[in-house]
Chains A and B, each alone.
Chain A
Amino acid sequence: AQSVTQLDSHVSVSEGTPVLLRCNYSSSYSPSLFWYVQHPNKGLQLLLKYTSAATLVKGINGFEAEFKKSETSFHLTKPSAHMSDAAEYFCVVSDYNFNKFYFGSGTKLNVKP
């Protein structure tokens, strides 16, 4: 079975400092992984995806994530946080045929001025 664990429920950073949101996955085969962002009262938006191509994936708004098979991790990073990055972030793994997607419990990112 597939699952993801988001290691931090809340992360707080200062504007202009790096962001690291951690995600570990469990999968019985080579996984496809995604990060989504959910701003308050807004729909879920795809940030980036990994589907067995390059292990370093670049997404929108300066975010990127690195797939590390040896560590079963897919951490989300951004070099410099912006106030508009404050939101909840979800790590997601899909089953082999993309019939089911499994969301983590989410990480709320707070950005301090």
Chain B
Amino acid sequence: DTGVSQDPRHKITKRGQNVTFRCDPISEHNRLYWYRQTLGQGPEFLTYFQNEAQLEKSRLLSDRFSAERPKGSFSTLEIQRTEQGDSAMYLCASSLGVRSSVEQYFGPGTRLTVT
């Protein structure tokens, strides 16, 4: 399977714990995006990488959130001191980033439940 993969698929954690999610994009894609989706809503943009550079961050991304993409391959999203409001589906997407192929390909998501 050469699609976008995310790990884990589900994560249950207690409030105050730190969690880290991983995203592996399609191999030739240089752009990688993170989104958060809560029940009944559309995905909300969190952050964007071009290769290893983080070029955009949403104001939704508080200081407790950090994302990395070392070497421009996989990416990690860490949430420190989780809160119940962080419960959501975290989606990763990748794209080629050329005008003829700007569409994003999404992974299956990581569902986070904070108890």
A residues with a Cβ closer than 8 A to B are 32, 34, 36, 42-46, 49, 51, 90, 94, 98-106
- Determine if B102 and A43 form an interchain contact, defined as CB atoms under 8 angstroms apart: no
- Determine if A44 and B56 form an interchain contact, defined as CB atoms under 8 angstroms apart: no
- Determine if A46 and B104 form an interchain contact, defined as CB atoms under 8 angstroms apart: yes
Total CB contacts across the A-B interface at under 8 A = 52
B residues with a Cβ closer than 8 A to A are 4, 31, 33, 35, 40-45, 48, 50, 55-56, 58, 91, 93, 95, 97, 99, 102-109
With A43-B109, A105-B41 already in contact, the answer to whether A98 and B56 are too (CB < 8 A) is: no
- Determine if B102 and A44 form an interchain contact, defined as CB atoms under 8 angstroms apart: no
- Determine if B48 and A100 form an interchain contact, defined as CB atoms under 8 angstroms apart: yes
- Determine if B42 and A90 form an interchain contact, defined as CB atoms under 8 angstroms apart: yes
Smallest Cβ distance from B21 to chain A, in angstroms?
Answer: 15
- Determine if A106 and B42 form an interchain contact, defined as CB atoms under 8 angstroms apart: yes
Smallest Cβ distance from B54 to chain A, in angstroms?
Answer: 11
Q: Which listed residue, B41, B93, B102, B106, touches A51 by the CB 8 Å rule? A: B102
Bound CA span A104–B41, Å:
8
- Determine if B102 and A32 form an interchain contact, defined as CB atoms under 8 angstroms apart: yes
With A44-B91, A51-B99 already in contact, the answer to whether A101 and B104 are too (CB < 8 A) is: yes
